[in-house]
Amino acid sequence: MRLTHPLIPMALRFSLAGAAAGLFACAVRAQSPSAEEIVARANRAAYYQGSDGRATVRMAITDAGGQVRERQMTILRRDDVPPGNSGDEHCGEQKFYVYFHRPADVGKMAFMVWKHLDRDDDRWLYLPALDLVKRIAASDERTSFVGSDFFYEDVSGRRPQEDEHELVETTETAYVLRNTPKDPTLVEFSHYTTWVDRKTSLPVKAEYYDRGGKIYRVYEALETSMIQDHPTVTRAKMSNLGTGGSTITEYSDVAYDVGLPEDIFSERYLRRAPRQYLRSR
């Protein structure tokens, strides 16, 4: 008999619906992994698919007045796999290389990250107009990435061990976590809430709260695809509620396990781009 059958009294329908909802809530609570397990899976899904990766990225930066600026770049990523580790499960150190194609004012600019687990990441920015390689201080990690609403830290990811994680809700589609920095003096937010897809483990939304408890920054995964058996965000948006601006990034030509050599992630290749590994359309 269906719950929508007209012979079932309205009060009974609500009673049955409430009972079903309660049973579901109890079931998901019993089945939910720990907050730390969810965060580890999300970190792996967002930043460690395959042993390396490459993607063409188009970025549209919209200011409060509706004016749009565009960026096009290629992102290369390589995992440093410890000896004896297949790389399937580890979330270790990584290297990122970002090469800018367009527009002309950022063309040939390059950005590189060496991501560490036990100390601050190393970051460099190559400015071709000055032929200058500039080190980016750890204090600048949470500043605008080339004028967009994404931060430098967003490119390579925030280390999970920098925050305390609490699972605050489990829905039918997502785990909802509250993340609080262990050292609040190093960041501008008081905490942030993330929604992690239960099927793919991809973080699909994040809301950042200022010290007054107001949301001021929102990340959203707008589109995802399965690429080489890896769930992948192919379109995302970062909104700055304070300035009224937003940035949309679109990822194409995504490939994993490309076979990127380690030596291209060096200062030498900041000045001389490894073009055989860069693709631009």
Q: Is 116 exposed, middle or buried (0-12, 13-18, 19+ CB in 10 A)?
A: middle
Q: Where are the domains of the chain?
A: 33-277
Name the CATH superfamily housing domain 33-277: Lipoprotein localisation LolA/LolB/LppX (2.50.20.10)
Closest CA to 247 of 168, 155, 149: 149
Report the pLDDT value the prediction gives residue 139, as an integer from 0 to 100. 81
Beta-strand (E) ranges in the chain?
A: 52-62, 68-79, 94-102, 110-115, 122-127, 132-135, 163-170, 174-181, 191-197, 203-209, 215-227, 230-240, 245-256
Listed residue (50, 2, 81) closest to 256, CA to CA: 50
- Per-residue pLDDT of the chain (281 residues), as tens digits, is 444 444 434 343 334 445 444 544 444 444 679 999 999 999 999 999 999 999 999 999 999 999 999 999 999 999 986 544 444 444 789 999 999 999 998 999 999 999 998 888 999 999 999 999 999 988 888 999 999 999 999 988 899 999 999 999 999 999 999 999 999 999 999 999 999 999 999 999 999 999 999 999 999 999 999 999 999 999 999 999 999 999 999 999 999 999 999 999 999 999 999 999 996 44
Q: What is the pTM of this model?
A: 0.83
Report the candidate in 176, 177, 101 with the shortest Cα–Cα distance to residue 146: 101
Q: How far apart are CA 251 and CA 107, in angstroms?
A: 18
- Phi and psi at residue 10, to the nearest 5°: -60, -45
Instruction: State the pLDDT at residue 138.
Output: 80
Question: What is the structure's pLDDT at 230?
Answer: 96
Does the CA dihedral 37-40-41-42 come out positive or negative? positive
pLDDT at 279: 66
